[in-house]
Chains A and B, each alone.
Chain A
Amino acid sequence: MVATAVTGIATPLKFPLFSGFQRSSRSLQLRMSQKAGHGVITGKLELRPPPYPLDALEPHMSRSTFEYHWGKHHRAYVDNLNKQIAGTELTGKTLEDVIVATYNSGNLLPPFNNAAQVWNHDFFWESMKPGGGGKPSGELLDLINRDFGSFEEFAKEFKTAAATQFGSGWAWLVYKDEDKKLAVVQSPNAVNPLVWDYVPLLTVDVWEHAYYLDYQNRRPDYLSIFMENLVSWDAVTSRLESVKAGSA
């Protein structure tokens, strides 16, 4: 048990204080491939598959959607990022560092969109699982109750954030280290909470390409199905554990 026991206070759940935290890193250095005979080191990120077969989330998210969303969109972000950073200093960094560096305090540099979208989509596939949905339990549920009032309130706030993100973007459940609380945030286009120094715990993609083949304009239906049938609370829980443990 990581949570410290504090007596005599109304909110006994507390995270141990730590000055920073490490997220799972996808070090580009680890994936560098050397071109034989040229002596040039090329850092190439690879497209990670979702942690389940492409038809595993049917009927809620179709195989066809995955073929395009993962097979085309996500793949293009990876390929285009590799092209953009080849031969630059960004190849020596982790993907998270590339995202923060190219966010450039809001004055986006060209690789940002691709870098962030590579990360966002990895995170999104891992936020879902076959037979997902339902409610979390244990400490995660306690924290949700503490910071949102109830699970139902959280679900409503999350779906509202996702439904009202105008244009393309994402909705997130995050942990905010600054006030040690869970929160729901929304972000436009490729932006993600790493740039605000929050810890992402769960996301849903509300770019139209994420739901158009299965739901057309009916984004609220997509979001309800996502909450009821797709959310991987296992993934959210283990991300929360990583935060508490202060390690990747």
Chain B
Amino acid sequence: MALRNLLIRKTLATPPLGILGFRSLKTFSLPDLPYDYGALEPAISGEIMQLHHQKHHQTYITNYNKALEQLDDAMSKGDASTIVKLQSAIKFNGGGHVNHSIFWKNLAPVREGGGEPPKGSLGWAIDNNFGSLEALIQEMNAEGAALQGSGWVWLGADKELKHLVVESTENQDPLVTKGPSLIPLLGIDVWEHAYYLQYKNVRPDYLKNIWKVMNWKYASDVYDKECPES
């Protein structure tokens, strides 16, 4: 028994080669956009989409991978304080990757259904939770406009409490940091890089226009999968 425990501990402590075989670190790469950079115009300019995807999102991934490699190294050395110290870099950059990966799917060109209101169970849930789609949009826009600094505003589904919520998170904190049972359905990036070249300081105009390219189909699919009607 003791020997088995010793072998297991030794395996966990000494990657890459152990009883469980070769353990390699999985790193991340930039997902393709499901549409051309200019496809969301005039709501969001092609210039912004290209910078946002190729520079900002890529940088989060690059730095996330770097932090994960450092974490892997610290873990294999049993360096507890470095493991803790890396958590903020992981949250920043990993959060940035997670959030932006969702964001690209949240958006769709008009000709592919962007802006078409939700139907089915999500549409019904929105009316139930907020009164109407217009009311939801108004609430998200108000929260997005009021956010100080950098962050995101989300439409989320609470799997436990079985209702929809509007939440905002700061910097690149994913929605789950506001509640472990929260599933992001739609996120709106309100970091200035998401709109500045086009809308400058007028964030409310960006918020008003982004709904024209909102991919409600994606949100509905996620909602149906995560909160199926019983």
Q: Which residues from chain A sit less than 8 Å from chain B, CB to CB? A: 68, 72-73, 76, 113, 166-169, 188-190, 207-209, 212-213, 216-217
Task: Tell me which residues across on chain A come within 8 A of B51, comparing CB atoms.
Answer: 216-217
Query: Which of B23-31, B189-197, B211-219 lies at the interface?
Result: B189-197
Question: Are B191 and A208 in touch, CB under 8 angstroms?
Answer: yes
A208 to B149, CA, bound (A): 9
Given A68-B200, A72-B201, A209-B201, are A217 and B148 neighbors across the interface (CB < 8 Å)? no
A111 to B222, CA, bound (A): 39
B171 touches A (CB below 8 Å): yes
A209 to B51, CA, bound (A): 15
A91 to B146, CA, bound (A): 23
B37 touches A (CB below 8 Å): no
Task: Tell me which residues across on chain B come within 8 A of A217, comparing CB atoms.
Answer: 51, 55-56, 59, 193
Task: Tell me which residues across on chain B come within 8 A of A213, comparing CB atoms.
Answer: 196-197
C-beta contact mask, B169-201 vs A, less than 8 Å → 1, else 0? 011100000000000000000011100110011
Task: Tell me which residues across on chain A come within 8 A of B192, comparing CB atoms.
Answer: 168, 207-209, 212
B76 touches A (CB below 8 Å): no
Task: Tell me which residues across on chain B come within 8 A of A76, comparing CB atoms.
Answer: 201
B104 touches A (CB below 8 Å): no
Task: Tell me which residues across on chain B come within 8 A of A209, comparing CB atoms.
Answer: 192, 196, 201
Report B168 CB to chain A, min CB distance, Å: 13
Question: Are A189 and B149 in touch, CB under 8 angstroms?
Answer: yes
Task: Tell me which residues across on chain B come within 8 A of A73, comparing CB atoms.
Answer: 201
B92 touches A (CB below 8 Å): yes
Number of residues on chain B facing chain A (CB within 8 A): 20
What are 8 sample pairs from A and B whose C-beta atoms fall under 8 A apart?
A72-B200, A166-B92, A167-B151, A167-B191, A168-B150, A208-B191, A213-B197, A217-B51
Question: Are B149 and A168 in touch, CB under 8 angstroms?
Answer: yes
A212 to B201, CA, bound (A): 11
Report A205 CB to chain B, min CB distance, Å: 12
A68 to B171, CA, bound (A): 23
Task: Tell me which residues across on chain B come within 8 A of A188, comparing CB atoms.
Answer: 149
Task: Tell me which residues across on chain A come within 8 A of B200, comparing CB atoms.
Answer: 68, 72
Question: Are A166 and B201 in touch, CB under 8 angstroms?
Answer: no
C-beta contact mask, B81-114 vs A, less than 8 Å → 1, else 0? 0000000100010000000000000000000000
Report A71 CB to chain B, min CB distance, Å: 9
Task: Tell me which residues across on chain A come within 8 A of B170, comparing CB atoms.
Answer: 167
A167 to B55, CA, bound (A): 15
Task: Tell me which residues across on chain B come within 8 A of A208, comparing CB atoms.
Answer: 150, 191-193, 196
Closest to B89 in A: A166
Report B54 CB to chain A, min CB distance, Å: 9
A162 to B200, CA, bound (A): 22
Query: Which residue of B55, B56, B171, B197 is within 8 Å of A166 (Cβ)?
Result: B171
Report A113 CB to chain B, min CB distance, Å: 5
A209 to B148, CA, bound (A): 13
Closest to A64 in B: B200
Given A208-B193, A209-B196, A217-B193, are A167 and B150 neighbors across the interface (CB < 8 Å)? yes
Task: Tell me which residues across on chain B come within 8 A of A169, comparing CB atoms.
Answer: 149
A167 to B171, CA, bound (A): 6
Question: Are B193 and A212 in touch, CB under 8 angstroms?
Answer: yes
Task: Tell me which residues across on chain A come within 8 A of B55, comparing CB atoms.
Answer: 216-217
A57 to B191, CA, bound (A): 26
A188 to B197, CA, bound (A): 23
Report A26 CB to chain B, min CB distance, Å: 22
C-beta contact mask, B9-36 vs A, less than 8 Å → 1, else 0? 0000000000000000000000000000
Closest to B93 in A: A166
Report A222 CB to chain B, min CB distance, Å: 13
Report A148 CB to chain B, min CB distance, Å: 23
Closest to B193 in A: A208
Closest to B56 in A: A217
A202 to B56, CA, bound (A): 28
Given A166-B171, A208-B191, A216-B51, are A113 and B148 neighbors across the interface (CB < 8 Å)? yes
Interface centre among A73, A76, A169, A212 (most CB of B within 10 A): A212
A168 to B190, CA, bound (A): 12
Closest to A217 in B: B55
Report A225 CB to chain B, min CB distance, Å: 18
Query: Which residue of A72, A167, A212, A216 is within 8 Å of B149 (Cβ)?
Result: A167
